[in-house]
């Protein structure tokens, strides 16, 4: 049975984003559909350039719309149709219903305003409080992310990278958004700080019942934090499902390649198996399956037609035409020990 | 072939090749910029006119001889820009004026380049006390408002074309000191300088062969921008009566004369000023285009 | 912060000394014998010699300079050869007119350049942007004195809206000269503003602001502009020197009774103490203004303030 009509916080159908520039049209996102249930965390996985950030920004229509063009059947956040909204309504949705954490904490904060002011601004806009009240709440938010409230008057350059990221999280969560989009929130941080920030996010997520989309290229983080997974390649979703389905029952050759690229600590002698080749140029995508040039299982039909999404059971879907043949399987097979 | 045994010699050769293709690359970039090409065409046109003027105009007859019965005539077919208060044809005078403004602008900037680049390069290369002294020196000259400095120099040296060039050149010098020093600082710590020193090249050789070629592009950009402002400064001084003495048809001086008759004969103030503006506009467009062509970080 | 200000003020003094020496030295090269001018046409050789003794013209350069500096510290910059009045007093009398003009010009310049620069940057590469870039280029290429003359022809002589010169104390007199200087200055500042805004507009923190739900207007005018102002303020400080320089030309065109015209007239009359004194004082004002701008800079950019207070 396919998806029951569950309570969806995010319902995106057939989202495509392209950028029309002088040097050509960049097809960043192509036909992405996401259905995220409330209180769940979705991991959006893929290499740099796969179109993850563009997809995330498109959800809030943060894509600059002169060069960018957003096309979709629908984007609905908590029942509200984003595509039909006027700018003023969009502004009241951003930061309040849906928030975003950006990739690079070093550049995400405005250098000329104090951190307290930057958090308070969100509160002032959405909760219509006075400056004083908003600042007081901003101090609370700072404490909640582990920064002493006395530092609220300080400026971003006075904080380390990890603390800056905490401030960014505080800004994003200040008004209790229902959906949090975190774009590689720990990529720019040291490993030890990464762990702290992830832990913080997990706690806050639980405390506020926030749904989350976590964008990352790090499969380890996905395993720790996410309920569902979507794998993106060249702007398209190539595999999606629950965490167990995708990790333990991997179907798509690209996902297999991603797992294969992780060094195996138990088998130090074996060679790393990188995926040969590079991601295609987004201004010049191949006609058929975008992964065909690099796929070890490629067939002639792959190069000619876009693969359809094949249902693999439960919530598991794969965009690979090889699975039309019921006997096909990839090499990776994870044995799950019975408990 | 030049010395290709020393390491520095090889670097010199390779840099020559690098420079040649870079010039071609800059020219290709420049061609894309319509404004810059228009500017270039106008400048070529002006230079040609300035050179060719004596072929069909005679200084004694057309430029300075007074013709009082024809005075103060509005523009007509016979006198395209009209005549001035002593009957001279303004069109001919404006054309001849290019023979003052263009060379003054160019020579003034050459003066500034020679003084400024020398000081800036020495300051950047040797550092320490020398750098401090030279930079303070440049700062002092930069603190004095340009026109006041030029006025002071001209009044000290006397009114003539050459003194005008020197005065305007001196005011542009601080900019070149700064640009040259900054460029040298980026190059100074590169490894090939070390290796050149290790091979025994003398300081002045290093400066000439390695440092200056690399510092060239910001300097070239400054040059094109400064020629325009030098022309404006020079004509400003002539407007104030401190430049080339009459009856020279310098554009600023012509505007100063026209000012007395502005009430009823405003055309006298129109054409020389237009000439200045078109010249400087062309130079600015060319300079902008050059800067964009040389600078990889294009603001799109 | 106070220490930084005190340090900068202290460093100002050697600069001012050097500036005054440089100007004194250059003017000293000027041809012509001041003793002749002072003594007058009818003077005999004896009278000329006496003048030379009295004024110390026979002393070597450094001695004369030292005496000059002693006088400067006391506020005595000598007396004009021509009017026989005190240089400092004359400067002070003429200064308010120039100050009025400069302030008006700065206001015009800021208003024009900030609006045009921001508008241009936000609408980058559209026809609106291209028009303002071209306008800025035109403004840069026009000599100020010519612009002044054109404005006189158009608005004073043909339309009669404004007087063609002089200062009768009404605001109308200020309009044309202020616009002349202000437009020229605005041309340069517009390019700087536009370029600075373009840099800021790409910054990630603006995306953060939008993601918070901040309105686009506030993103540009509050978040972006504050950051873009930093390089603009730097240039504005330097520009003040140009505004004063522009005043010299424009005061001549509009017969404005300010310091600029005083300098030009004094040069034509070979009144060396007046010229020297005026240029020295004007340069001092420029240096002080630049210091003030540097301090203002610290209040706009907290990172700079941190550097200054270290």
Please name the residues in contact with C191: beta carbons below 8 A apart, sequence gap of 6 or more.
C117, C133, C136, C140
pLDDT-derived band at C37 (thresholds 50, 70, 90) equals: low
Chains touching chain C, criterion 3+ CB pairs below 8 Å: A, B
Residues A133 and A173 in one domain: yes
Buried b (16+ CB within 10 A) or exposed e, B56-83: ebeeeebbeeeeeebbbbeeeeebebbb
pLDDT at residue B200, rounded to an integer? 79
Does residue B20 sit in helix, strand or coil?
Answer: helix
Task: Say if the Cβ atoms of A102 and C208 lie within 8 Å.
Answer: yes
- The secondary structure of residue A179, as a DSSP letter, is E
pLDDT tens-digit map of C171-219: 788 888 899 999 988 988 888 888 888 888 888 899 899 999 898 899 9
Structural domain ending residue among the three candidates A189, A209, A226: A226
For A26, B243, B273, C138, the CA distances from B85, given in Å and listed in that order, are 65, 20, 17, 29
Residues A166 and A303 in one domain: no
C→A interface, C-beta within 8 Å? 203-205, 207-216, 223, 226-227, 300-303, 306
pLDDT at residue A116, rounded to an integer? 93
Is residue C164 assigned to a domain?
Answer: yes
Which of A57, A155, A171 is the closest to C212 by Cβ?
A171
Residues C48 and C134 in one domain: no
pLDDT-derived band at C147 (thresholds 50, 70, 90) equals: very high
Residues A143 and A74 in one domain: yes
High-pLDDT (> 90) share of chain C, %: 6
Structural domain ending residue among the three candidates C73, C97, C116: C73
For A233, A250, A314, A332, C123, the CA distances from A335, given in Å and listed in that order, are 26, 11, 19, 10, 58
Residue A58 belongs to domain with CATH number:
3.40.50.300
| C209 contacts in chain A (CB < 8 Å) | 110, 121
Is residue C82 assigned to a domain?
Answer: no
Residues C170 and C251 in one domain: yes
DSSP string, A64-121: -TTTEEEE-SEEEETTEEGGG--HHHHHHHBTTTEEEE-S-HHHHS-TTS-HHHHHHH
Task: Say if the Cβ atoms of A111 and C205 lie within 8 Å.
Answer: yes
Which of B155, B276, B300 is the closest to C143 by Cβ?
B276
Residues C294 and C159 in one domain: yes
Is residue C78 assigned to a domain?
Answer: no
High-pLDDT (> 70) share of chain C, %: 92
The alpha-carbon gap from C218 to the nearest alpha carbon of chain B, in Å, equals 24
Residues A53 and A170 in one domain: yes
pLDDT at residue C34, rounded to an integer? 67
Helix axes of C259-268 and C87-122: crossing angle, nearest 10 degrees: 120
Residue B156 CA to residue C251 CA, distance in Å, equals: 23
pLDDT-derived band at A161 (thresholds 50, 70, 90) equals: confident
Q: How many domains does chain C have?
A: 2
In terms of pLDDT, which residue wins out, C35 or A126? A126
Residue B216 CA to residue B200 CA, distance in Å, equals: 24
The alpha-carbon gap from B159 to the nearest alpha carbon of chain C, in Å, equals 11
Nearest to A40 by CA among A153, A195, A166, A206: A206
Residues A163 and A284 in one domain: no
Which of C204, C300, C303 is the closest to A108 by Cβ?
C204
Element (H, E) at C262: helix C259-268
Is residue A35 assigned to a domain?
Answer: yes
The alpha-carbon gap from C152 to the nearest alpha carbon of chain B, in Å, equals 9
Bridge partner list, A12: A34, A75
Overall average pLDDT of the C76-86 stretch? 74
Q: What is the span of the domain harbouring residue A263?
A: 233-324
Structural domain ending residue among the three candidates A226, A259, A291: A226
Does residue A242 sit in helix, strand or coil?
Answer: strand
pLDDT tens-digit map of C243-254: 888 888 899 888
Overall average pLDDT of the C276-284 stretch? 83
pLDDT at A251 over 70: yes
The alpha-carbon gap from B148 to the nearest alpha carbon of chain C, in Å, equals 7
| B269 contacts in chain C (CB < 8 Å) | 146, 149-150, 153
pLDDT at residue B296, rounded to an integer? 55
Is residue C175 assigned to a domain?
Answer: yes
Nearest to A185 by CA among A199, A169, A206: A169
Residue A117 CA to residue A125 CA, distance in Å, equals: 12
Residues A310 and A200 in one domain: no
Residue B276 CA to residue C138 CA, distance in Å, equals: 11
High-pLDDT (> 70) share of chain A, %: 96
Is residue A200 assigned to a domain?
Answer: yes
Is residue A267 assigned to a domain?
Answer: yes
pLDDT at residue B298, rounded to an integer? 43
Is residue C258 assigned to a domain?
Answer: yes
Q: How many domains does chain A have?
A: 2
pLDDT at residue B234, rounded to an integer? 92
Residues C170 and C238 in one domain: yes
Is residue C79 assigned to a domain?
Answer: no
pLDDT at residue B20, rounded to an integer? 58
Is residue C81 assigned to a domain?
Answer: no
C305, C1 in Cβ contact below 8 A? yes
Please report which residue ranges of chain A form alpha helices under DSSP H. 52-59, 87-93, 105-108, 115-127, 131-144, 161-173, 191-208, 219-225, 243-248, 253-260, 300-304
pLDDT at residue B14, rounded to an integer? 46
pLDDT tens-digit map of A205-237: 888 888 999 998 888 889 988 999 999 988 888
Is residue A3 assigned to a domain?
Answer: no
Residues C163 and C194 in one domain: yes
Is residue C80 assigned to a domain?
Answer: no
pLDDT at residue B140, rounded to an integer? 81
Domains and CATH numbers, chain B: 22-64+78-298 (1.10.3720.10)
Residues A216 and A244 in one domain: no
Structural domain ending residue among the three candidates A201, A226, A251: A226
Is residue A264 assigned to a domain?
Answer: yes
Q: Which residue of A has its CA nearest to C297?
A: A112
Residues A168 and A253 in one domain: no
Task: Say if the Cβ atoms of C208 and A108 lie within 8 Å.
Answer: yes
B48's tokens: 């040609």
C277's tokens: 């004194």
Residues C185 and C44 in one domain: no
Is residue A69 assigned to a domain?
Answer: yes
pLDDT-derived band at C308 (thresholds 50, 70, 90) equals: low
Is residue A67 assigned to a domain?
Answer: yes
* Burial status of residue A271 (CB atoms within 10 A of its CB: 0-12, 13-18, 19 or more): exposed
Structural domain ending residue among the three candidates C19, C38, C73: C73
| C144 contacts in chain B (CB < 8 Å) | 236
Which of B147, B262, B273 is the closest to C245 by Cβ?
B147
pLDDT at residue A74, rounded to an integer? 87
Residues A29 and A14 in one domain: yes
High-pLDDT (> 90) share of chain A, %: 17
Residues C46 and C158 in one domain: no
Task: Say if the Cβ atoms of A121 and C214 lie within 8 Å.
Answer: yes
Which of B236, B255, B281 is the closest to C149 by Cβ?
B255
pLDDT at residue A41, rounded to an integer? 92
Residues C37 and C94 in one domain: no
pLDDT at residue A181, rounded to an integer? 92
**How many contacts (CB atoms, under 8 Å) link A and C?**
77
Which of B145, B152, B258 is the closest to C26 by Cβ?
B152
Residues A43 and A152 in one domain: yes
Task: Say if the Cβ atoms of B155 and C125 lie within 8 Å.
Answer: no
pLDDT tens, N- to C-terminus, chain B (300 residues): 343 333 444 444 444 455 556 677 777 777 777 888 888 899 999 999 888 888 887 777 666 677 777 777 777 777 778 887 777 888 888 888 898 889 999 999 999 999 998 888 888 878 788 888 888 888 888 888 888 888 888 888 878 888 889 999 998 898 888 888 887 777 776 767 777 778 877 777 777 777 767 777 778 878 887 898 899 999 999 998 888 887 788 899 889 888 888 888 888 888 899 999 999 999 988 888 887 777 655 443
Q: What is the span of the domain harbouring residue C142?
A: 87-308
pLDDT-derived band at A146 (thresholds 50, 70, 90) equals: confident
Structural domain ending residue among the three candidates C50, C73, C96: C73
B61's tokens: 């007859």
Residue B197 CA to residue A259 CA, distance in Å, equals: 52
Task: Say if the Cβ atoms of B143 and C286 lie within 8 Å.
Answer: yes
Residues C104 and C236 in one domain: yes
Buried b (16+ CB within 10 A) or exposed e, A32-50: bbbbbeebbbbbbbbbebb
Residues C34 and C180 in one domain: no
Is residue A295 assigned to a domain?
Answer: yes
pLDDT at A33 over 60: yes
Task: Say if the Cβ atoms of C210 and A92 lie within 8 Å.
Answer: no
Residues C94 and C117 in one domain: yes
Residues A141 and A258 in one domain: no
Residue C128 CA to residue A66 CA, distance in Å, equals: 15
pLDDT at residue A109, rounded to an integer? 92
pLDDT tens-digit map of A122-133: 999 888 888 899
pLDDT-derived band at C299 (thresholds 50, 70, 90) equals: confident
């Amino acid at each position: 049975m396919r998806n029951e009509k569950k309570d969806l916080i995010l319902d995106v159908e057939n989202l495509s984003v392209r950028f029309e520039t002088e040097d050509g049209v960049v097809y960043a996102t192509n036909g992405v559909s996401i259905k995220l249930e409330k209180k769940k965390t979705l991991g959006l996985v893929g290499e740099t350039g796969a179109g993850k950030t563009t997809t995330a920004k498109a959800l809030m229509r943060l894509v600059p719309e002169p060069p960018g063009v957003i096309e979709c059947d629908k984007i609905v956040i908590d029942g509200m149709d984003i595509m039909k909204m006027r700018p003023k309504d969009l502004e009241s949705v951003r930061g309040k219903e849906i928030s975003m954490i950006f990739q690079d904490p070093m550049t995400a904060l405005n250098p000329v305003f104090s951190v307290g002011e930057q958090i308070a601004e969100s509160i002032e806009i959405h909760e219509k409080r006075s400056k004083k009240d908003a600042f007081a709440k901003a101090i609370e938010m700072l404490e909640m992310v582990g920064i002493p409230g006395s530092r609220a008057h300080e400026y971003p350059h006075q904080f380390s990278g990890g603390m800056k990221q905490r401030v960014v999280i505080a800004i994003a969560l200040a008004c209790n958004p229902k959906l949090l989009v975190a774009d590689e929130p720990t990529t720019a941080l040291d490993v030890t700080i990464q762990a702290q920030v992830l832990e913080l996010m997990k706690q806050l997520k639980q405390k506020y019942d926030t749904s989350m989309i976590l964008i990352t290229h790090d499969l380890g983080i996905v395993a720790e934090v996410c309920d569902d997974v979507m794998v993106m390649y060249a702007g398209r979703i190539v595999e999606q499902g629950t965490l167990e389905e995708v990790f333990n029952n991997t179907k798509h050759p690209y996902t297999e390649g991603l797992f294969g690229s992780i060094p195996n600590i138990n088998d130090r002698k074996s060679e790393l198996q990188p995926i040969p080749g590079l991601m295609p140029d987004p201004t010049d995508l191949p006609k058929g399956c975008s992964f065909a040039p690099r796929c070890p299982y490629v067939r002639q039909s792959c190069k000619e037609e876009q693969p359809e999404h094949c249902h693999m059971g439960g919530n598991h879907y794969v965009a690979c035409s090889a699975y039309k043949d019921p006997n096909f399987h990839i090499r990776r097979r994870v044995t799950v020990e019975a408990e | 072939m030049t010395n290709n045994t020393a390491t520095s010699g090889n670097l010199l050769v390779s840099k020559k090749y690098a420079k040649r293709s870079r010039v071609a690359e800059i020219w290709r970039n420049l061609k894309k910029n319509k404004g810059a090409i228009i500017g270039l065409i106008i400048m070529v046109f002006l230079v040609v006119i300035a050179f060719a003027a004596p072929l069909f105009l005679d200084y004694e007859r057309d430029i300075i001889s007074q013709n009082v019965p024809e005075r103060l005539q509005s523009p007509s077919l016979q006198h395209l820009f009209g005549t001035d208060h002593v009957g001279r044809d303004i069109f001919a005078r404006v054309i001849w004026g290019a023979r003052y403004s263009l060379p003054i602008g160019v020579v003034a900037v050459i003066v500034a380049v020679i003084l400024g680049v020398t000081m800036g390069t020495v300051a950047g290369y040797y550092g320490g006390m020398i750098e401090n002294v030279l930079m303070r020196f440049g700062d002092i000259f930069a603190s004095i408002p340009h026109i006041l400095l030029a006025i002071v120099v001209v009044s000290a040296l006397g009114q003539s074309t050459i003194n005008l060039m020197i005065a305007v050149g001196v005011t542009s010098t601080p900019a070149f000191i700064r640009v040259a020093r900054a460029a040298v600082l980026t190059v100074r710590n590169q490894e090939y300088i070390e290796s050149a020193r290790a091979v025994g090249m003398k300081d002045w050789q290093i400066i000439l062969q390695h440092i200056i070629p690399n510092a060239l592009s910001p300097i070239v950009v400054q040059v094109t921008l400064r020629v325009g402002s030098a022309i404006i400064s020079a004509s400003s001084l002539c407007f104030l009566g401190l430049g080339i003495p009459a009856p020279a048809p310098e554009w600023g001086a012509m505007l100063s004369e026209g000012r007395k008759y502005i009430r009823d004969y405003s055309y006298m103030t129109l054409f020389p000023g237009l000439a200045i503006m078109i010249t400087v506009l062309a130079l600015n467009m060319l300079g902008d285009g050059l800067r964009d062509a040389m600078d990889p970080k294009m603001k799109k | 912060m106070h220490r930084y200000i005190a340090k900068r003020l202290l460093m100002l003094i050697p600069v001012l000394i050097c500036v005054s020496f440089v100007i004194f030295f250059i003017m000293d090269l000027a041809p012509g014998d001041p003793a002749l001018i002072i003594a007058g046409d009818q003077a005999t050789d004896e009278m000329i010699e006496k003048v030379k003794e009295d004024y110390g013209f026979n002393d070597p350069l450094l001695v004369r300079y030292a005496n000059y500096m002693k006088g400067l510290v006391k506020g005595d910059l000598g007396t004009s050869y021509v009017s026989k009045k005190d240089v400092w007093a004359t400067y002070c009398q003429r200064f308010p007119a120039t100050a009025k003009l400069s302030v008006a010009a700065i206001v015009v310049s800021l208003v024009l350049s900030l609006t045009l620069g921001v508008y241009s940057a936000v609408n980058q590469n559209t026809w609106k942007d291209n028009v303002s870039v071209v306008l800025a280029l035109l403004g840069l290429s026009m000599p100020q004195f010519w612009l002044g003359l054109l404005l006189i022809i158009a608005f004073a002589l043909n339309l009669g809206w404004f007087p063609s010169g002089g200062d009768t104390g009404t605001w109308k007199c200020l309009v044309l000269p202020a616009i002349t200087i202000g437009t020229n200055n605005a041309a340069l500042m517009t390019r700087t503003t536009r370029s600075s805004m373009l840099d800021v507009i790409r910054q990630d923190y603006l995306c953060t602001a939008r993601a918070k739900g901040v309105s686009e207007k506030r993103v540009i005018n509050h978040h972006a502009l504050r950051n873009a102002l930093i390089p603009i303020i730097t240039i504005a400080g330097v520009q003040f020197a140009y505004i004063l320089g522009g005043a010299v030309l424009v005061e001549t065109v509009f017969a404005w009774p300010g310091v600029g015209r005083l300098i030009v007239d004094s040069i034509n009359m070979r009144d060396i103490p007046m010229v020297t004194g005026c240029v020295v004082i004007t340069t001092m004002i420029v240096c002080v203004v630049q210091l003030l701008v540097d301090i203002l800079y610290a209040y706009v950019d907290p990172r700079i303030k941190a550097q200054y207070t270290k």
